[in-house]
Amino acid sequence: MTALPPRDHDADLMSDRVSARISPLPDPETLRVRRVHRAIADLRRGTPVILNGAAPLIVLGAETAGAAGLEDIAALAAGPACLLLASGRAETVTGVGATVIAVATPKGLLAPAFLRALADPTAEQMLGIHPKTVPVPVLADAAILLAKLARLLPAALVAPIAALDAARLRDLLVVEVGDVWAYPAIAATRLVRVAEASVPLEDAPDARIIAFRAPDAGIEHLAILVGRPEAAEAPLVRLHSECFTGDLLGSLRCDCGAQLRGAIARMAADGAGVLIYLAQEGRGIGLANKLRAYTMQDRGLDTIDANRALGWGADERNFMVAATMLEELGIPSIRLLTNNPDKVAAMTSCGIRVQTREEHAFAPNGVNNHYLDTKMRRFGHLLG
């Protein structure tokens, strides 16, 4: 057990977030949130969206680009299209290190194959292409964020649009750049309970599961309550990001399954606890991208460099989601079951008082040794 110095509770921050969460959204703001949801859905199915700001862009996910989406770009573009690649992937492809790189799209190539070859490092070949960089559009960072929110590869085909002429937009969605940037915080702070049930578990017979969802969103985050943690002064809490391969299949590549089951058993032994089960697979990059990262790891990269090779950051999770859930449960003070100092810092910055950090380590299994070593050396996890 590691004692932490007392922190002042940020009452104003908590009050603002709780008020925002329990108050009905004004109609205009509801529409703004729904537009980002729809933009995410459109990109996933290969439909372009219009990103409106200082210099409007038509945006199409590189991973889902098809003939229809490319036709929309050709019809609406007021200038040359370019492919945006996020940091890491951009450096691999072009040799240039920057947050976002814009790559020219040569004519005469099969565009979908070209886009995917440049966006996906697990592709079999690069088609013999030597990309040429071009100036980065003003709204490039927001376009990459939209692709990330859609859990697509962080790469997007974009082109400038001269004017937002409703008669020419082909019914494409227009989303404001400010709404895109605000979306992660709004989604995290507007969570509400949508369902609750008693679910006796093998290691914790007295357990309940509460599902949380942001308004107009389809993703649920879960709180697994063991005993009556809301009655404890500072119950054990574990922030656990979902891991399909480890939690469900028992994958040996990580320690997630052992951490999940170990946390629930420890909470039962302690008498109470909360496991916050976050829908943020692969440190927030999604299952498909995690599998791509595994492919890159099999080629010799560690966890961090594999994510970077895809264009993702080392950790894309939003722990404000967990803080909002704990506030809704009436649990402002916790003993955090983790080896990750970043989780302690995240909870504290979101207004949750972390009384102690409780160690939560499991021995290597012979397959995940390098993974755990990377956690310790490069993420700073306290495993030694």
Residues assigned a catalytic role = 315, 317
Distance CA 21, CA 191 (A): 6
- Which of 180, 167, 213 is CA-nearest to residue 21? 213
Q: What are phi and psi of 382, to 5 degrees?
A: -90, 80
Separation of CA 31 from chain center: 22
Distance CA 186, CA 169 (A): 28
Dihedral sign from CA coordinates of 273, 279, 283, 287: positive
Distance CA 15, CA 288 (A): 37
- Which of 111, 179, 143 is CA-nearest to residue 43? 143
What residues form DSSP beta bridges with 52?
Answer: 176
Residue labelled with tokens 């927001």: 142
Q: What are phi and psi of 12, to 5 degrees?
A: -65, -45
What residues form DSSP beta bridges with 211?
Answer: 195, 222
Alpha helices in 131-235 (DSSP H): 140-149, 177-189
Residue 371 near residue 254 (C-beta atoms within 8 A):
yes
* List of residues 6+ apart from 293 with CB closer than 8 A: 282, 285, 303, 306, 307, 309, 310, 312
* List of residues 6+ apart from 77 with CB closer than 8 A: 58, 159, 160, 161
Dihedral sign from CA coordinates of 116, 122, 123, 129: positive
Residue 239 near residue 278 (C-beta atoms within 8 A):
yes
